[in-house]
Structure 1
């Protein structure tokens, strides 16, 4: 196994362990979109194409654990409206990715921008969360947010903000909100795999790396479920978005 692993820099393994643990914790405990931290962290040490390819199978493993846990706890109408749009967004994201795959700097900059956008969205959501009135967004808004989510998820596994824009105003109970995001992102991740294969993002080396990191997905998911029961979102969000802010700035400005 060691012989076929790529010659990654030492910092890659530090970033990879942190990224996979955060992905599992976020997906199972605090809504899958918080896993946005994974791609920017890895993109500090390896090309963006390699980073997203490496993370997708690990995300899908997290999905197996977390979907089982939330299999009967999700908002069916939201899932039904978001997924068709997500499929369209994935198609658009695949075309974009294919066009810029040879330009690592553009993709790196794009991931950095997305990271900072997510930090800004989190701050605005925190400021406005208590003043927004509960409402039920319509079908068109659901499809549009699905398209945005599918597009950004294809580029950087960063589809959380559009889904949150659609789901949060409904003021769902915390567990129902987390279950809904888990189901949506599980479906989105499975839909992304054929385009990633078509983009030729996989090789023996990164698949071997997935095998090495795979056990951490279970650890992260179990931690996420436990933390969800015992802690509020606030401390976790501060850690995640603090790291995301620093990482986004590093990707943009070196």
Structure 2
């Protein structure tokens, strides 16, 4: 298959945005990437083309963030994430992707708006209090993240809803996010193969886009290292708001 120039006109910026997200600049870019590619290929094919690219990006990001992690947060989220992927695979033919996007988008928008409203009420000199690890909440949000990741590559907002209130330092936050989604994407390979979405055509298209993926991931990883917490957290919550609005729009449009 030889895609026309229109395919690459959409695919190159889509992959670049996802790469910046994988590098550490938040989930909103990733959520924009797949719908952008879906403008020129069927949505399921767009998701399948992205999966091998995401895995390569994960490898690059894991190397970049190998020294940074919150082990307790990662271990708290993983069981739910794995359950979410299993649930997504089991119900993929029954639950509308649009309905899932609608739910995730609504939760994310409310969550982000709550942060900005509370921040506006507080003195700029008062640092928000970090919440402790909560196993039950981690399982709930981890499951939603795994499910959203499987059905729509949209696992970022639930992950952020749980992790951002923990107030991890930016490097630990990014390293934990990198590890969590690397594991999620690796697990998704088997279900995607079982659904017949990782054939030679889609894998070939993925391979042509890998250089863009690698460069953009490294750029994202470099940029986030220079962000202070006072800049990083408003930026991340802003990304959640944008991501949630995009999911909400896609969900309503698809119903």
| TM-score (norm. length: structure 2) | 0.81
Instruction: Report which stretch shifted further, 226-235 or 236-245.
Output: 236-245
Distance 1:112 1:146 in 2: 16
- Tell me if the contact between 1:31 and 1:177 (Cα under 8 Å) persists in the aligned partners: no
Tell me the residue number matched to 2:144. Answer: 148
Residue 87 of structure 1, aligned match among 69, 76, 82: 82
Q: Give 1:97-176 correspondences, 5 Å limit.
A: 97-99=92-94, 106-107=96-97, 109-110=98-99, 113=102, 116-117=105-106, 118-119=108-109, 121-128=111-118, 133-176=129-172
Once the two structures are TM-superposed, the CA of residue 129 in structure 1 deviates from its matched residue by 5.6
Q: Which runs of 5+ in 2 are unaligned?
A: 123-127
Q: What count of residue pairs does the alignment treat as equivalent?
A: 243
- Tell me if the contact between 2:115 and 2:237 (Cα under 8 Å) persists in the aligned partners: no
Once the two structures are TM-superposed, the CA of residue 20 in structure 1 deviates from its matched residue by 0.9
Residue 227 of structure 1, aligned match among 218, 223, 226: 223
- Tell me if the contact between 2:85 and 2:188 (Cα under 8 Å) persists in the aligned partners: yes
Tell me the residue number matched to 2:125. Answer: none
- Tell me if the contact between 1:40 and 1:247 (Cα under 8 Å) persists in the aligned partners: no
1:37 equivalenced with 2:27 (yes/no): no
Residue 21 of structure 1, aligned match among 6, 16, 19: 16
Aligned-residue RMSD, C-alpha: 3.0
Residue 50 of structure 2, aligned match among 48, 55, 59: 55
| TM-score (norm. length: structure 1) | 0.81
- Tell me if the contact between 1:115 and 1:245 (Cα under 8 Å) persists in the aligned partners: no
